Structure 1
């Protein structure tokens, strides 16, 4: 049933709360439908290829190295007492997202400001908010935060355009996208003038020149799509790894082996992809605690969901990912966290149609490989550099929803440096 909704663009399109159009911009590409949406996505596909993802790795490792030191300092300042780390995970995910999306065009202070204020954007997008911007309400604060992020990213776009035009090497998503715009423009100009295109690489998808604001809007949607979901996954990942030291030890062993015993060695894409057990842990985590539980769609025309029921135009249809990911016919003991089902088991094949963590159909998540590899990198590096302990409370296994799902007690942890 969920797959049918995801795969029925003729009948439905994703919908969000009314205020989203005001926060993200009514002309944002995420609100496109049909052919316009398909064409826009084609121009973004190249930003998430394997080759592109490898370019982003050094920036991501840089962020994790810095924030893992901060984790140690947070525990030290708390006198060794547990600290709820949910908000800290949101900050590190914001930082790694910003480095991936806009590289070093953005300052550390701006990243910290975005991380602090992004909470306001998430709160503004809750279902039970005013659909209009009224001063000092959640939507008002969210709009101010969104405008700040958009302005910051627009400045980054201008810097990236200048650097790419001067022949710089791309090291973030914004660079890669702008470089494709430059290549497209050169190709078009050569053809219009009847000049030889020898030596020019024809872009896979011809792009027009986007304005700084349009680039900013698009990159902001990447942050919008990744921030809450990856923050949720990271929070649960650290809690569950602390609860299962046997699993964490196997992650450590694999990561140490891949790095040839050097805990500070950076990894390339081949090494990251070779971490099959760590990846199985991430895949199982996303099945066991799927960040996005449901995706609202609006019906564009009468939608025959079953032979017995047709959803009327204008109604909402909300497929959930949770039921498919807990299907006992596919996942033995579905309420247990068991990475073996993706390491030595048959869950990858048997549950291919059930794994709706990133959706399916024309609106599937563009960054699904990036998100998973990012989590593999994060927990792999943490396993080598840190020891951490989860301090359970009666609410540790209870779930709260703040756009995505988090432990009700915000995951109290303590960290210490790992000695080898």
Structure 2
């Protein structure tokens, strides 16, 4: 049923709460439908190729190097007592996203400000909320935070356009997109002026010009899509890795081998892709604790969803990914965390149609490879740099929903530096 909804773009389109267009921008690409959405998306696909993803790794590495040292300092400041780390994981993943999306065009101070304020945007998009923006409400604070992010991103776009025009190297997603836009512009201008294009490689796809604000809004939606989901995944990943030392030991062993024992050495895409067990752990984590449980759609017209029921035009229809990811016919002991099913088992082949973590159809998550490799980098580097312990409470396995899912006790942990 979930697959049917995801794959029925003629009947449904993604929707969000009423205030979302006010925060993300009414003309944001996520609100496009049909051909307009497909055409816009084509221009983004090249930003997530293997070659492009490798360009973003140094920025991600730098963030983890810095924050993992902070984890140890936080534990020391607490006198060795456990500290709930959910908020810190949200900050880390926000910083990683920002360095991946807009690189070092954005200051450390702005990264910290966005990371601190992003929860206001999440709160503003809760299902039960004011549909209008009134002063001092959650939606009002969310709008102020969103405007601040968009303004920072627009400044970054302007800087990137100058640097890419001067032949600078691509270091972030924004650079890659701006470079493609500039190359497309040069090609078009050469044709319009009757200049031979023999020495130019035609960009595929050929992109139109995008304004600084259009690029800023799109990057904001990348942050919107990644922030809560990766924060959820990282929180559960550290909790479960601590609970399962057998799993953490194998992650550590694989990463030490792939990186020649040097946690601080830059990682490349071949090394990251070679870590098959680490990636299997991430894959299983996303099945076992899928960050996004529900994906709201709205019926564009009457939708005969089954032989017995037709969803009326204008009604919301909300598929969940949870049941497909817990299907006992596909996953043996589905309520157990078992990375082996993706490492040596048949879950990848047998459950291909069930793995709806990143959606399906024309609106599937464009950053799904990026997200999984980023999480593999995160837990792999942590395994080499840190030892940590989870301090369970009666709420550790209880789930709370804050856009995505988190342990109710916010994941109390202690960290120490790992000595090689």
Fold match (TM-score > 0.5): yes
CA distance in 2, matches of 1:263, 1:138: 41
Does the CA contact (< 8 Å) of 2:124 and 2:142 recur in 1?
A: yes
State the TM-score, normalizing by the size of structure 2. 0.99
CA distance in 1, matches of 2:262, 2:35: 49
Superposition deviation, residue 317 in structure 1:
0.6
1:9 matched to which residue of 2?
9
Matched, 1:195 2:200: no
CA distance in 2, matches of 1:387, 1:261: 15
Paired residues for 1:67-216 under 5 Å = 67-216=67-216
Superposition deviation, residue 207 in structure 1:
1.1
CA distance in 1, matches of 2:233, 2:117: 20
Structure 1 unpaired stretches of 5+: none
Superposition deviation, residue 380 in structure 1:
0.2
CA distance in 2, matches of 1:232, 1:122: 13
Superposition deviation, residue 264 in structure 1:
2.2
CA distance in 2, matches of 1:167, 1:198: 20
Matched, 1:408 2:408: yes
CA distance in 1, matches of 2:122, 2:403: 7
Paired residues for 1:28-39 under 5 Å = 28-39=28-39
Instruction: Specify the SS of the correspondent of 2:128.
Output: coil
Superposition deviation, residue 192 in structure 1:
1.1
Deviation per CA, 1:30-62: give whole Å up to 9, x if none: 000000000000000000001100000011000
2:339 matched to which residue of 1?
339
Instruction: Specify the SS of the correspondent of 1:310.
Output: coil
1:55 matched to which residue of 2?
55
CA distance in 1, matches of 2:369, 2:20: 26
Structure 2 unpaired stretches of 5+: none
Does the CA contact (< 8 Å) of 2:55 and 2:171 recur in 1?
A: yes
1:387 matched to which residue of 2?
387
Superposition deviation, residue 334 in structure 1:
0.1
CA distance in 1, matches of 2:308, 2:110: 53
Instruction: Specify the SS of the correspondent of 2:43.
Output: helix
2:245 matched to which residue of 1?
245
Deviation per CA, 1:261-289: give whole Å up to 9, x if none: 22322211001000000000000000000
CA RMSD of aligned residues (A): 0.5
Aligned residues: 420
State the TM-score, normalizing by the size of structure 1. 0.99
CA distance in 1, matches of 2:280, 2:234: 15
Deviation per CA, 1:151-182: give whole Å up to 9, x if none: 00000000000101111111000000000000
1:271 matched to which residue of 2?
271
Instruction: Specify the SS of the correspondent of 1:320.
Output: coil
CA distance in 2, matches of 1:381, 1:71: 13
CA distance in 1, matches of 2:264, 2:215: 35
Deviation per CA, 1:211-250: give whole Å up to 9, x if none: 1111110000000000000000000000000000000000
Does the CA contact (< 8 Å) of 2:65 and 2:264 recur in 1?
A: no
Deviation per CA, 1:105-124: give whole Å up to 9, x if none: 00001000000000000000
Superposition deviation, residue 201 in structure 1:
1.7
CA distance in 1, matches of 2:79, 2:419: 20
Q: Structure 1 residue runs of 4+, over 4 Å off?
A: none
